[in-house]
Structure 1
Amino acid sequence: MLNDLPLARKTIYVTGTQKVQTIEELVQANGGKVKSFPLIDVQECIAADDAEKLAHSKSYEWLIFTSQNAVESFVKKLHRAKQNVDTFLCKIAAVGTKTAKALENSGFTVEFMPSIFSADVFVKEFPLVAGKGRCLFLRGNLAKTTIRDALACDEWTVYETVESTKHIQALAESLIQEEEPIVIFASPSAVKVYAQYIVPDFDWSYITIASIGHITTAELKSYGATVDVQPDTYTMKAVVEHLIIGGL
């Protein structure tokens, strides 16, 4: 019976820009449903010297990517400049399976991934492989300085994350109708928007809170929220799997 499934009567809210298809089938198969209300928007940073920077990026031994957004923005620049992935002889480092998959789907070969998908672990393990090779970190405007400071690498901001409030009213109206809402936060930026616009009407205790990554968790705690779910693997699928086995 449907009511016996582990996610019966539960609605999982996704607040980031990630596509929900990767978890929707899994949630539905276990009796739940998924709703997406993005609280952030991601935009490629486009500049007049992009082609010049692309050419210069080929001089590095390693290119470092920590998000799908960085991969997508970088590839857009390649296409705009009519350049081919095959012309890049750099080695590629990635943080996260989704990032690695985006790179491989674009034609890159990932040479290194850390054992745990966090910048803190990356900066400890990466030098053991890369040595003193010159590195370029392809980042977003809100990326922490952890990688730059630890590795003394160069950076190129290829995308920016901006707040989005266009779904606030719809999110609030939806939350009030749900019996057991579970909200997944995948970035500090989404946490900030939720805290500013939703929490005044719906206290944190109204929802079950799932967090992807320790940085997002720290942001939630800074607003007084209690994190109910934070899997060791920093992916949306890991959150859902945790919920399915009753990890609340």
Structure 2
Amino acid sequence: MTTNPADRIKPPVVVPRDDPHDKFVTTLKQAGYGVIHKALTRTVTLPPAEELTNSDLWRQADWLVVTSKTTVALLPDPLPNPTIKVAAVGTATASALRGRGINVDFVPNDHSGTGLVTQWPGGVANVLLPTSQLAADTVPQGLTKIGCTVNRREVYTTAAVEELPEVIAQSWPSVGAVVVTASSVGRALVKLVEPLGWRRQKLVALGKPTAGTLEELGRPADAVASSPTPQAVLEAVESLVA
């Protein structure tokens, strides 16, 4: 008797985000997975975030480049320069900006720092780049190489939570996959689960930079999502646990 793949019991998947309405969470749930959603990192605001209220900082910029949803929450409301053009690294960041009432002028087809630089529509421009202290240099270096003046402000960093959330710790032996959404999440995951050890858990990296970090940590990704979208994450998970 042949078993229908849809009838197979699917192992739990960890998505390290607190929001139960997160699109990765809801897409996996709709596909029949039990999803454990709990953040493994916390955001630490840094002093340069206060400088984002400085109107001179904004008057000097032609473009605002936003590379994470976390940055969006730290932007002043309203933006001091209402005519500034805005670029978002991906659809999630763009949605967060629009949710704040900020018009988005550019989102690259390749939702990555490399894609943003490669498809950059702004020519030579003054760019304001509020970002994470841990962010790669891909965007500022790439834009500088094409003639832009980039004002990078490291407005936050990300730190691991103090201990592995209990709901993840209790379920860890049966977890089938973990969606590693960023390099900082990968670092936190490896640190926090070390006392429990690794068994059947597979790692899905959200992009090549995160996969590279996991490689450096000695826990190579078992799959890399082809794009930072819910469907791509689902396909990567399915490739490992189906």
With the shorter chain as reference, the TM-score category is 0.7 to 0.9
Matched letter for residue 59 of structure 1: Q
* d(CA) in 2 for partners of 1:155, 1:200: 38
Identity %: 22
8 Å CA contact 2:15, 2:25 repeated in 1: no
What does residue 151 of structure 1 align with? 143
Matched letter for residue 24 of structure 1: V
In the TM superposition, what is the alpha-carbon distance from 1:234 to its structure 2 partner? Answer: 1.5
Q: How many residues align?
A: 232
Bigger shift: residues 52-61 or 32-41: 52-61
What does residue 39 of structure 2 align with? 38
* d(CA) in 1 for partners of 2:97, 2:139: 19
8 Å CA contact 1:24, 1:33 repeated in 2: no
Change in Cα spacing, 1:140 to 1:7, as seen in structure 2 (3 Å) is: farther
* d(CA) in 2 for partners of 1:34, 1:88: 40
Deviations 1:87-107 (A, max 9, x none): 521100110100011111111
* d(CA) in 1 for partners of 2:96, 2:194: 34
8 Å CA contact 2:48, 2:155 repeated in 1: no
Change in Cα spacing, 1:34 to 1:155, as seen in structure 2 (3 Å) is: same
Change in Cα spacing, 1:99 to 1:194, as seen in structure 2 (3 Å) is: same
Q: Secondary structure at the match of 1:5?
A: helix
* d(CA) in 2 for partners of 1:6, 1:87: 55
What does residue 98 of structure 2 align with? 104
- After TM superposition, the structure 1 = structure 2 runs for residues 123-138 of structure 1, keeping only pairs within 5 Å, are 123-126=117-120, 129-138=121-130
* d(CA) in 1 for partners of 2:220, 2:50: 44
8 Å CA contact 1:135, 1:154 repeated in 2: yes
In the TM superposition, what is the alpha-carbon distance from 1:125 to its structure 2 partner? Answer: 1.9
Any runs of at least 4 consecutive aligned residues in structure 1 with deviations exceeding 4 A, and if so which? 46-49
8 Å CA contact 2:186, 2:214 repeated in 1: yes
What does residue 15 of structure 2 align with? 14
* d(CA) in 2 for partners of 1:6, 1:211: 26
* d(CA) in 2 for partners of 1:220, 1:155: 26
What does residue 193 of structure 1 align with? 188
- After TM superposition, the structure 1 = structure 2 runs for residues 62-141 of structure 1, keeping only pairs within 5 Å, are 62-74=63-75, 78-79=76-77, 84-85=78-79, 87-126=81-120, 129-141=121-133
In the TM superposition, what is the alpha-carbon distance from 1:230 to its structure 2 partner? Answer: 1.4
8 Å CA contact 2:18, 2:38 repeated in 1: no
Structure 1 gap segments, 5+ residues each: none
Structure 2 gap segments, 5+ residues each: 145-149
Change in Cα spacing, 1:13 to 1:112, as seen in structure 2 (3 Å) is: same
TM-score by length of 1: 0.82
Q: Secondary structure at the match of 2:102?
A: coil
* d(CA) in 2 for partners of 1:108, 1:238: 27
Q: Secondary structure at the match of 1:111?
A: coil
Change in Cα spacing, 1:219 to 1:7, as seen in structure 2 (3 Å) is: farther
8 Å CA contact 1:64, 1:138 repeated in 2: yes
8 Å CA contact 1:7, 1:32 repeated in 2: no
